[in-house]
Amino acid sequence: IEKSSNRYFFIDDPVMIKIEKSPKKEIEIDLHPDFPEKGSRKFETIDKFYITKSDFNELKDNKLYRLMECLNFTKSKNKFIFHSSEYEIFKEKGEKIIHWLPYEKDLVSIEVVMPDGDAKKGLGEKILEKTKLGTILQFERFGFCCLNKIEKEKLIFYFTHR
């Protein structure tokens, strides 16, 4: 299913961060890195982003981090500061790449039912609203999931594997 599964961002247990001096950007990310012909998804960003609580808790002062395909930033005390846009700069001395979503009202509520019956709750990309029941996709850095139920206020996926 790796080749046939499009990629999307799911932010489990989201935390909003504001990256000071972050430029306004238009980001385009392929639905599948190996098959650009599948299309892409687009984001507009300014300075506010959602990241997972687990990533947030790992951020250390004076280290360089990257929002995947977007920008590099550092943490200083309780502030986040834009550093650069280029991946090459991150590649030289970066600590970790983090997936993200822009802070916006049109995000989709997502619930992922795990094999042990627990549910992971968070936010997903607006484009996920177009997903058909039974579709298997990959939530980046999370795992493969199958859309099992569409409710008015959320999409419910079942986790299949990493």
Segment 79-121, tens digit of pLDDT: 999 999 999 999 988 999 999 999 988 899 999 999 999 999 9
Distance between CA atoms of 87 and 20, rounded to whole angstroms? 19
Under 8 Å between Cβ of 40 and 71: no
Give the model's pLDDT for residue 81. 98
Give the model's pLDDT for residue 142. 95
Residue 1 in this model has a pLDDT that exceeds 90: no
Give the model's pLDDT for residue 75. 97
Under 8 Å between Cβ of 36 and 7: no
| Total-model pTM | 0.94
Sorting pLDDT into bands at 50, 70 and 90, what band is 162?
A: confident
* Alpha helix segments (H runs only) across the chain: 53-58, 87-93
Number of alpha carbons in the 13 Å side-chain half-sphere of residue 25: 24
Identify the CA nearest to 14 among candidates 138, 82, 141, 101. 101
Please give the mean pLDDT across all residues of the chain. Answer: 96
Q: CA torsion angle for 29, 33, 38, 40 (degrees, to 10)?
A: 0
